[in-house]
Amino acid sequence: MQVVILAGGLGTRLSEETTIRPKPMVEIGDRPILWHIMKLYSHYGFDDFFIALGYKGEMIKHYFADYHLSSSSMSISLAQGEVKVLDGDSEEWQVHLIDTGYASNTGGRLGRLKKYLRPETFMLTYGDGVATVNLKDLIRHHQAHGGIATITAVHPPARFGALDIQNDRIIKFVEKSQIREGWINGGFMVMEPRIFDYIEDDRTVLEADVLESLADEGQLYAYQHPGFWQCMDTLRDKRQLEQLWSEGHPPWRVWE
């Protein structure tokens, strides 16, 4: 199954980082968050990626074009102009880097990929969020209901810790956790090709125009994921993800 990753937005709320790079290239540890997302999909056997580029998309192109250069040892024959990779990280990924316009909205970016995708079920997510979603279970859920699209519904992470108060006395501080009320769109979606019938042009917004229309028609379903999910929307989010990674056991690292 092919995987679409929307990676063309401006990322204005993370401007401390995104003035010099696209948000999917902001690093957790020494790897872009885009790599972390792709590793999750690859863990479940999905290795055919279509990355919708926009703002500073050339940086994402350079990253994958130079992937072996930055992560492997190699021998270079100056006389023959040949490069031989000796060892290092190797991913069995097919990566398609598609320019989808600087100012296109999310639906418009997806619409531009129609001619590259096979006319069959595909997966889609955003280039700024990680989770512990079981993607095989997500697909089974989607196939069971027969709708046009399924989105992964998640609880947003709490921004602050809580106070346990009894009779006006603070008993203890409660660590931040996932909020247990309300669901939001966490990305990690599964879609049928009929989704393209709802996309008019580059101005189409996936969330407001397409998904809301599907909901009105009873064609949009939710896969409820109560586990870990975190987007990297602000510098605070980035620091939190960095901390989880540096501690050695980040929840989303399901691969070995």
Q: With beta carbons less than 8 A apart as the criterion, state whether 49 and 41 touch.
A: yes
Q: Note the Cα 215 to chain centre separation in Å.
A: 22
Burial label for 133, CB within 10 Å (0-12, 13-18, 19+), is buried
Beta carbons of 124 and 3 less than 8 angstroms apart: yes
What is the rounded CA–CA span in Å between residue 55 and residue 148? 29
Determine contact, residues 237/152, Cβ cutoff 8 Å: no
Q: What is the CA radius of gyration of the chain?
A: 20
pLDDT of residue 76: 84
Q: What pLDDT does 170 receive? A: 47
Successive 10-residue mean pLDDT values, the chain, 256 residues: 95 84 94 97 97 96 85 81 75 94 96 97 97 97 94 81 60 58 87 97 95 93 93 92 94 91
Instruction: Specify whether the CB–CB gap between 51 and 112 falls below 8 A.
Output: no
- Give the pLDDT score at 113: 98
Architecture of the CATH domain 3-151+183-246: Alpha-Beta Complex (3.90)
- DSSP structural state of residue 208: I
- Asked if 183 and 151 touch (Cβ cutoff 8 Å), the reply is no
Q: What are phi and psi of 169, to 5 degrees?
A: -100, 135
d(CA 52, CA 127): 9
Q: Where are the domains of the chain?
A: 3-151+183-246
Q: Is 124 left (phi over 0), alpha (psi -120 to 50) or beta?
A: beta
The three-state secondary structure class of 26 is: coil
Given the DSSP bridges, would you call strands 122-126 and 169-174 parallel, antiparallel or unpaired?
Answer: unpaired
Instruction: Give the burial string for 4-33 (b: 16+ CB within 10 Å, else e).
Output: bbbbbbbbeebeebbeebbbbbbbbeebbb
Q: What confidence score (pLDDT) does residue 14 get?
A: 83
In DSSP terms, 229 is beta-bridged to 131
| pLDDT score at 137 | 97
Name 223's bridge partners.
Answer: 152
